Structure 1
Amino acid sequence: MKQFFKFVLATIVGIVFTSFILLIILVGIIVGASSEKPVDVLSNSVLHVSFTRAIPERTPNNPLAGLSFLGLDGEKSIGLNDILANIKKAKTDDNIRGIFLDESYMLSGQATTEEVRNALLDFKKSGKFIIAYSEIYTQGFYYLASVADKVYINPKGIFEFSGFSQQITFLKGAMDKLGIEAQVIKVGTYKSAVEPYILNKMSDANREQVNSYLGSLYEHFLTGIGKARNVNRDTLFDIANNMKVQFPEDALKYKLVDGLKYKDEVLDELKSRTSTDKKKNLHSVEIGEYTKSGVKDDNTDTEKATAGDKIAVIYASGEINGGDGDENTIGSETVSKALRQVRLDNKVKAVVLRVNSPGGSSLASDVIWREVKLTHDVKPIIVSMGDYAASGGYYISCAADSIIAEPNTITGSIGIFAILPNMQKLFNDKLGVTFDGVKTGKYADLGDISRPLTPEEHAILQNQVNRGYDDFTKHVADGRKKTQQYINSIGQGRVWTGTQAIKLGLVDRLGNINDAVNMAAKKAKVTDYKLVTYPEQKSIFNKFGQGLTAEVKTRMLQNELGESYNTYQQIKSVTHLMRTPQARLPFDVVIK
Structure 2
Amino acid sequence: MRFFKTFLAALLAFIVFTGLCFLVLLMIIGRAISREPVTISPNAVLVMKTSQAFNEQKVVNPVASFMGDESSEIPGLFQAVRLIQHAATDDNIKGIYLKVDGSGNGFAGTEELRNAILRFRKSGKFVYAYGEVMSQQGYYLASAADKVFLNPKGGIDFSGFSTQVTFLKGTLEKLEIQPEIFYCGKFKSATEPLRETQMTEANRVQTHQFLGQLYGNYLHGIAQARRLDTATLHGYANENLVRESSDALKYKLVDALKYDDEVVSELKNKTGVKSDEDLNLVSFLKYNSAVTLSNGTSENKIAVIYAQGDIISGESEKQTTIASEDYIYSIRKAREDKKVKAILFRVNSGGGSALASEVIWRELSLAKKVKPVVVSMGDFAASGGYYISCMADSIFAQPNTLTGSIGVFGIMFNMENFFKNKLGVTFDGVKTAPYADLGTMSRPLNDVEKRFIQDGVDSIYASFKSRVVAGRKLDAAVVDSIAQGRVWSGTDALKLGLVDRIGGLNEALNCAARLAKVSDYRMVEYPEVKDKLFRLLKNVGGEVQESMVKREMGVNYDLYQQLKAIQHIPGDIQAKLPFIYKF
What TM-score does the superposition give when structure 1 sets the normalisation length?
Answer: 0.93
CA distance in 2, matches of 1:369, 1:108: 27
Q: In the alignment, which of 422, 429, 438 is matched to residue 430 of structure 1?
A: 422
Q: Following TM superposition, by how much is the alpha carbon of 1:541 offset from its aligned partner in structure 2, in angstroms?
A: 2.2
Q: Say if 1:563 and 1:18 are closer, same or farther in 2 by CA, change over 3 A.
A: farther
CA distance in 1, matches of 2:24, 2:488: 46
Aligned to 2:74: 77
Q: In the alignment, which of 305, 313, 318 is matched to residue 322 of structure 1?
A: 313
Offset from partner CA, 1:109-146 (integer Å, 9 cap, x none) = 10000000000000010111000001110000100000
CA distance in 1, matches of 2:322, 2:430: 39
Alignment check: 8 A CA contact 1:65 1:77 kept:
no
Alignment check: 8 A CA contact 1:50 1:103 kept:
yes
Q: Does 1:252 align with 2:244?
A: no
Aligned to 2:278: 281
Aligned to 2:3: none
Q: Following TM superposition, by how much is the alpha carbon of 1:332 offset from its aligned partner in structure 2, in angstroms?
A: 0.4
CA distance in 1, matches of 2:19, 2:131: 43
Q: Which amino acid aligns with 2:503?
A: G
Q: Does 1:125 align with 2:122?
A: yes
Q: Following TM superposition, by how much is the alpha carbon of 1:480 offset from its aligned partner in structure 2, in angstroms?
A: 0.2
Offset from partner CA, 1:517-568 (integer Å, 9 cap, x none) = 1001001110111110011110112211332112211111122111111111
Q: Following TM superposition, by how much is the alpha carbon of 1:455 offset from its aligned partner in structure 2, in angstroms?
A: 0.4
Aligned to 1:214: 211
Alignment check: 8 A CA contact 2:100 2:142 kept:
no
Aligned to 1:180: 177
Offset from partner CA, 1:23-45 (integer Å, 9 cap, x none) = 67754652343234332222211
Q: Say if 1:576 and 1:272 are closer, same or farther in 2 by CA, change over 3 A.
A: same
After superposition, the CA RMSD in angstroms is 2.4
CA distance in 2, matches of 1:56, 1:357: 12
Q: Which amino acid aligns with 2:399?
A: P
Aligned to 1:372: 364
CA distance in 2, matches of 1:21, 1:166: 54
Q: In the alignment, which of 529, 546, 555 is matched to residue 554 of structure 1?
A: 546
Q: Does 1:492 align with 2:484?
A: yes
Q: Following TM superposition, by how much is the alpha carbon of 1:22 offset from its aligned partner in structure 2, in angstroms?
A: 7.8
Aligned to 1:311: 302
Give the match's secondary structure for 1:102: strand
Aligned to 2:569: 577
CA distance in 2, matches of 1:526, 1:240: 48
Q: Say if 1:434 and 1:22 are closer, same or farther in 2 by CA, change over 3 A.
A: farther
Aligned to 1:4: none
Offset from partner CA, 1:296-330 (integer Å, 9 cap, x none) = 6xxxxx7432x110011011111000111331100
Identity %: 47
Q: Say if 1:159 and 1:29 are closer, same or farther in 2 by CA, change over 3 A.
A: farther
Q: Say if 1:428 and 1:379 are closer, same or farther in 2 by CA, change over 3 A.
A: same
Alignment check: 8 A CA contact 1:29 1:64 kept:
no
Q: Which amino acid aligns with 1:77?
A: I
Give the match's secondary structure for 1:576: coil
Give the match's secondary structure for 1:65: helix
Alignment check: 8 A CA contact 1:93 1:295 kept:
no
Alignment check: 8 A CA contact 2:143 2:222 kept:
yes
Offset from partner CA, 1:375-412 (integer Å, 9 cap, x none) = 11110010000111000000000111010011101100
Q: Following TM superposition, by how much is the alpha carbon of 1:158 offset from its aligned partner in structure 2, in angstroms?
A: 2.4
Q: How many residues are paired up? A: 574
Offset from partner CA, 1:321-353 (integer Å, 9 cap, x none) = 011133110010111111100101000001100
Aligned to 2:64: 65
Q: Does 1:46 align with 2:45?
A: yes
CA distance in 1, matches of 2:31, 2:185: 52
Q: In the alignment, which of 95, 108, 112 is matched to residue 109 of structure 2?
A: 112
Q: In the alignment, which of 137, 140, 151 is matched to residue 140 of structure 1?
A: 137
**5+ long unaligned stretches in structure 2:** 1-10
Alignment check: 8 A CA contact 2:95 2:127 kept:
yes
Q: Following TM superposition, by how much is the alpha carbon of 1:173 offset from its aligned partner in structure 2, in angstroms?
A: 1.2
Alignment check: 8 A CA contact 1:64 1:547 kept:
no
Q: Following TM superposition, by how much is the alpha carbon of 1:486 offset from its aligned partner in structure 2, in angstroms?
A: 1.4
CA distance in 2, matches of 1:248, 1:115: 28
Aligned to 1:384: 376
Q: Which amino acid aligns with 1:200?
A: T
Aligned to 2:467: 475
Give the match's secondary structure for 1:577: coil
- After TM superposition, the structure 1 stretch with the greater mean CA deviation from structure 2, 21-30 or 329-338, is 21-30
Offset from partner CA, 1:224-264 (integer Å, 9 cap, x none) = 00000011111100101111111101000000001111111
Q: Which amino acid aligns with 1:122?
A: R
Q: Following TM superposition, by how much is the alpha carbon of 1:578 offset from its aligned partner in structure 2, in angstroms?
A: 1.5
Give the match's secondary structure for 2:345: strand
Q: How do 1:338-349 residues align onto structure 2 when only pairs under 5 Å count?
A: 338-349=330-341
Q: Which amino acid aligns with 2:404?
A: G
Q: How do 1:195-234 residues align onto structure 2 when only pairs under 5 Å count?
A: 195-234=192-231
Q: Does 1:589 align with 2:581?
A: yes
CA distance in 1, matches of 2:353, 2:12: 44
CA distance in 2, matches of 1:486, 1:24: 67
Q: Say if 1:17 and 1:244 are closer, same or farther in 2 by CA, change over 3 A.
A: farther
Aligned to 2:85: 88
Could you list the structure 1 runs, at least 4 aligned residues long, displaced by more than 6 angstroms after superposition: 12-22, 72-75
Q: Say if 1:26 and 1:153 are closer, same or farther in 2 by CA, change over 3 A.
A: farther
Give the match's secondary structure for 2:249: helix
Q: Following TM superposition, by how much is the alpha carbon of 1:292 offset from its aligned partner in structure 2, in angstroms?
A: 3.1
Q: Say if 1:67 and 1:269 are closer, same or farther in 2 by CA, change over 3 A.
A: farther
Q: Say if 1:459 and 1:27 are closer, same or farther in 2 by CA, change over 3 A.
A: farther
CA distance in 1, matches of 2:102, 2:27: 31
Give the match's secondary structure for 2:149: strand
Q: Does 1:265 align with 2:265?
A: no
Q: Which amino acid aligns with 2:426?
A: T
Q: Does 1:565 align with 2:557?
A: yes
Alignment check: 8 A CA contact 1:388 1:411 kept:
yes
Q: Following TM superposition, by how much is the alpha carbon of 1:175 offset from its aligned partner in structure 2, in angstroms?
A: 1.1
CA distance in 1, matches of 2:15, 2:233: 62
CA distance in 2, matches of 1:17, 1:576: 46
Q: Which amino acid aligns with 2:522?
A: K
CA distance in 1, matches of 2:313, 2:493: 28
